[in-house]
Structure 1
Amino acid sequence: MRSICLTLPTNRHCPDTIAALGEEAAHAVAHFDIDVHLLVLDSCPPPERAAHAEALRRLPAHPRITPHHLDEAAQRDFLTRVTARSTTAKPALLLDLMLPDGLSYGACTNRAFLIAAALGCESVHRRDSDSRYQSLAGRTVFPVHHELLSLGRRAADALPGVTESALPDALLGRRVAMVGGSFVGEPSVDIGRIRDADPETYHDVVSLWAPEHWSQARKRELVEESFLGAGTEPFTADHSLLTVVDPMRVDMCNIAFHGDTVCERVPLPPARDTIGSDYFLIHLVHDARLPGVLHNRHIVNYHTGERRTDHGFLAYQTRFAKFLLSMRYFHFVYDRMAEAGDTLLDEHGRARPSAVAALARESTGLDTGENLRRLDALDRAYRRLGGRYADFADLLAGRRERLIDEARADIADFALLTEAWEGLVAAARTTPLPGPPERHR
């Protein structure tokens, strides 16, 4: 019987989300012959962790659902043993990249990938704590249903489980590497107040994540579809498409990857305080022409109140600015991956980490002038907005060189981690985890 890892990384109070995740796990075992490892990676302070532990204890017991609740101390213990067992160099640096002192969207998901390998799981299914499931006629529509119908199967064998296919016949022998949906509700990036206050400035800010050489028309198209997910229309009926999935159509709050094809081969970029750093594998799957399934069981996205506080606002805007700077390197890597196509895969149809690492390392030699101009444009836009945005522009002005250097260092760290990843996964497979929490009966 195959095992899957249904995971929720969190740094915020979310017992209701954990309860809903338990319901999704129950749906999975009720409809499929699988074991579910329900993994909560908890970076919260003790009171919130206690509430999460209680939410896990209250989930109905099931012989094929095993909950795992790991705080950062338990994660560090596991990762320390993994890095020590691996044959890779610089174990202390790798440990820091896996569990940094600061927020990292890529690193938290990388930890889930390694723990899934330790648990013998074939796939990883990720959700987010600032989202919830849709329902129809009182029935919750869980994304895991589409994920388990197709993930890891030969695309030709997955055809009966999808509504339609746009996959070229030449790719039907490859395995389905990714199944995903998007979100409805609030935009994925919390900059909607800029759009409401000044649409022209919103365009100027959002267009900064495009390559500098793009035409104004192409940038305008990007702005119009950026961060909006699947819009606001609620779920009414299932639809799924077997295809090479457009990265703009899926979101990391609603995603599943096949381990042996993708996430046991290449990690996510571990950049600190950078939104979007966890989307890399979606692009890799697309550019390598690996089959995927795009479904419409979209998750509802919402923004937490913490981002509205002065501290939360400055922290989030820093993550957004670092995202814009990271794109100098990622656009280069994405373009080269698109050119590489099938050569990104080995003879077994799996992602080749050496190919990805080489491109990431090559990108570190790019000129930083484009990023300096990005910061100049962002400074002008935020000063036009005034208020807290102007205050952030002052903060940004004092950190310009540091942010430029961090963006380059982040892609170099990604190259290093990618080179070490297969060794870390192999070590994780032989590294035991702490036992599951005690359950209420």
Structure 2
Amino acid sequence: MRRICLTLPTDRSCPATIAALGEEAAYAVEHFDIDVRLLILDSCPPPVYAEHTEAVRRLPAHPRITVHHLDEARQRDFLAAAVARSGRAKPELLLDLLLPDGLSYGACTDRAFLIAAALGCESVHRRDSDSRYQRLDGRTVFPVHHELRTLGHRAADAASRVTATDLPAACLDHRVAMVGASFIGELSVDLAEIEAADPAVYHDVVGLWAPAHWSAERRRELVAESFRGAGTEPFTHDRSLLTLVDPMRVDMCNIAFHGVHERVPLPPARDTIGSDYFLIHLVHDARLPGVLHNRHIVNYHTGERRTGPGFRAYQRRFVKFLLSMRYFHHVYDRMAAAGDTLLDGSGRVRGEAVAALARESTALDRGENTARLDAVDTAYRKLGGRYAEVADLLAADRDRLLDEARDDMADFALLTEAWEALIAAARVTPVAAPPGRPG
């Protein structure tokens, strides 16, 4: 029986999200002949972990749904065993990249990829704790509906299960590697306050994630659609498109991968917004089939990133995202030029080719990033108040920020070089069960 991993990485209290995820798992087994491993990777402190444990206990039992609720200690035990079994060099560094002392959007999902392999799952379906599902006529609109209809199937066969297709004929023999949608609601990056305070400053800041050589017009177009997802229009009926999915049309809170996540990891950069979006670009650039649907998730922001230390930390993560684009744009351009030559004879991504591009990018001149920091400094001081305070912090941390942006790509190259060995090791590494619970 086909086995999937429905996963929720979290570092915040989200019992309602856990309950909703349980409902999505129940929907999946009711409508498809599958086995679901519901994987909650919990980085919360003990009181919140206990709250989540109670939420898990309240989930209805089903013979084809197994819940794995793992705190960081159990995650570390599994990862240490898998890393050791892989035989790769620098095991301590690899373990640190996979479970860092700090926030990493990419690393938390990489852990899900590895544990999914250990659990025998052929696909990973990711959701986020700061989002919720839409409802229509009293029923919940679950993205897994579209994911399970097409993911992993040969594209030519999946064509009959979607509303429309515009996939090039040369791609029809490949399997659908990604199924995703976006979100409605608040901006995916918490910058609405800047836009409300000064639209011109918002344009200048958001435009910094574009390549430096872009024209003013292209930059304006990028700013206009950045971080807005699918807008605000609620779900009314299903639509799905078999295509080479535009990375701007999907979000990591609403995504599923088949195959590609076992060939290339996500960048494990610490404290960097957007570090988990790499595979979306890779699927597109390697010309792997995807399905874009419209069961968008509702995005919202929690309060901790808007006041005090949380605000300052969030702004630093955003600035690190801007700096990371110096390197990612280089890799994306090279991947787009390579196209399906990134695939081997079986249609699988060649991880070593991606690692080489990531490593190549680390030699780029960092003058472009120096200019980005100058522009952020000017913009934040114009906003004043707590943004000027952030500018002071960024100025004091300037050299470290520049170094981290480059070093993060070197870490990504290293992890990618080790990834297939880590996946193979994970497949034969047990996942420890919490005390008193199976699985």
Fold conserved (TM > 0.5)?
yes
Moved more, 163-172 or 274-283: 163-172
Aligned counterpart, 2:330: 332
Secondary structure of the corresponding residue to residue 434 of structure 1: coil
> Is 1:24–1:144's contact at 8 Å kept on the other side of the alignment?
yes
Q: CA deviation at 1:67?
A: 0.1
Secondary structure of the corresponding residue to residue 9 of structure 2: strand
1:186 aligns with 2:186: yes
2:355 aligned partner, one-letter code: A
Gapped runs of 5+ residues in structure 2?
none
Secondary structure of the corresponding residue to residue 365 of structure 2: coil
- Taking the aligned partners of 1:418 and 1:434, their CA distance within structure 2 comes to 25
1:30 aligns with 2:8: no
> Is 2:268–2:408's contact at 8 Å kept on the other side of the alignment?
yes
- 1:35-76 per-position Cα deviation (integer Å, ceiling 9, x unaligned): 000000000001110011111111010000000000000000
Q: CA deviation at 1:434?
A: 1.3
1:312 aligns with 2:310: yes
Q: CA deviation at 1:398?
A: 0.2
2:384 aligned partner, one-letter code: G
1:176 aligns with 2:176: yes
Secondary structure of the corresponding residue to residue 342 of structure 1: helix
Secondary structure of the corresponding residue to residue 36 of structure 2: strand
- Taking the aligned partners of 2:192 and 2:25, their CA distance within structure 1 comes to 33
Aligned counterpart, 1:64: 64
Secondary structure of the corresponding residue to residue 389 of structure 1: helix
> Is 2:358–2:410's contact at 8 Å kept on the other side of the alignment?
yes
Aligned counterpart, 2:76: 76
- Taking the aligned partners of 1:102 and 1:415, their CA distance within structure 2 comes to 20
Aligned counterpart, 1:102: 102
> Is 1:57–1:437's contact at 8 Å kept on the other side of the alignment?
no
Aligned counterpart, 2:392: 394
Q: CA deviation at 1:378?
A: 0.2
Secondary structure of the corresponding residue to residue 411 of structure 1: helix
- Misfit runs of 4+, over 3 Å: 436-440
Aligned counterpart, 2:142: 142
> Is 1:57–1:439's contact at 8 Å kept on the other side of the alignment?
no
> Is 1:67–1:436's contact at 8 Å kept on the other side of the alignment?
no
Q: CA deviation at 1:427?
A: 0.4
Q: Superposed, which structure 2 residues align to 1:152-231 within 5 Å?
A: 152-231=152-231
Q: CA deviation at 1:437?
A: 6.8
Aligned counterpart, 1:321: 319
2:47 aligned partner, one-letter code: P
Secondary structure of the corresponding residue to residue 6 of structure 2: strand
Aligned counterpart, 1:121: 121
Secondary structure of the corresponding residue to residue 359 of structure 2: helix
Select which of 258, 265, 268 maps to 1:267.
Answer: 265
Aligned counterpart, 1:365: 363
Aligned counterpart, 2:40: 40
Aligned counterpart, 2:277: 279
Secondary structure of the corresponding residue to residue 5 of structure 1: strand
Aligned counterpart, 1:376: 374
2:397 aligned partner, one-letter code: R
- Taking the aligned partners of 1:436 and 1:46, their CA distance within structure 2 comes to 14
- 1:394-414 per-position Cα deviation (integer Å, ceiling 9, x unaligned): 000000000000000000000
> Is 2:18–2:56's contact at 8 Å kept on the other side of the alignment?
yes
- 1:356-383 per-position Cα deviation (integer Å, ceiling 9, x unaligned): 0000000000000000000000000000
Q: CA deviation at 1:436?
A: 5.9
Identity %: 78
Q: CA deviation at 1:295?
A: 0.3
Number of aligned residues: 438
> Is 1:61–1:439's contact at 8 Å kept on the other side of the alignment?
no
> Is 1:66–1:436's contact at 8 Å kept on the other side of the alignment?
no
Measured on the aligned residues, the alpha-carbon RMSD in Å equals 0.9
TM-score calculated relative to the size of structure 2: 0.99
Secondary structure of the corresponding residue to residue 28 of structure 1: helix
- Taking the aligned partners of 1:435 and 1:79, their CA distance within structure 2 comes to 14
1:393 aligned partner, one-letter code: A
> Is 1:58–1:439's contact at 8 Å kept on the other side of the alignment?
no
- Taking the aligned partners of 1:401 and 1:136, their CA distance within structure 2 comes to 50
Q: CA deviation at 1:95?
A: 0.1
- Taking the aligned partners of 2:312 and 2:292, their CA distance within structure 1 comes to 35
> Is 2:70–2:434's contact at 8 Å kept on the other side of the alignment?
no
- 1:284-309 per-position Cα deviation (integer Å, ceiling 9, x unaligned): 00000000000000000000011122
Secondary structure of the corresponding residue to residue 52 of structure 2: helix
- Taking the aligned partners of 1:214 and 1:309, their CA distance within structure 2 comes to 34
Aligned counterpart, 2:232: 232
Aligned counterpart, 1:2: 2
Aligned counterpart, 1:405: 403
Q: CA deviation at 1:155?
A: 0.3
- Taking the aligned partners of 1:204 and 1:44, their CA distance within structure 2 comes to 35
Secondary structure of the corresponding residue to residue 13 of structure 1: coil
Q: CA deviation at 1:435?
A: 2.2
1:86 aligns with 2:79: no
> Is 1:106–1:268's contact at 8 Å kept on the other side of the alignment?
yes
> Is 2:103–2:271's contact at 8 Å kept on the other side of the alignment?
yes
> Is 1:67–1:437's contact at 8 Å kept on the other side of the alignment?
no
- Taking the aligned partners of 1:22 and 1:123, their CA distance within structure 2 comes to 17
TM-score calculated relative to the size of structure 1: 0.98
- Taking the aligned partners of 1:439 and 1:145, their CA distance within structure 2 comes to 29
Secondary structure of the corresponding residue to residue 196 of structure 2: helix
Secondary structure of the corresponding residue to residue 4 of structure 1: strand
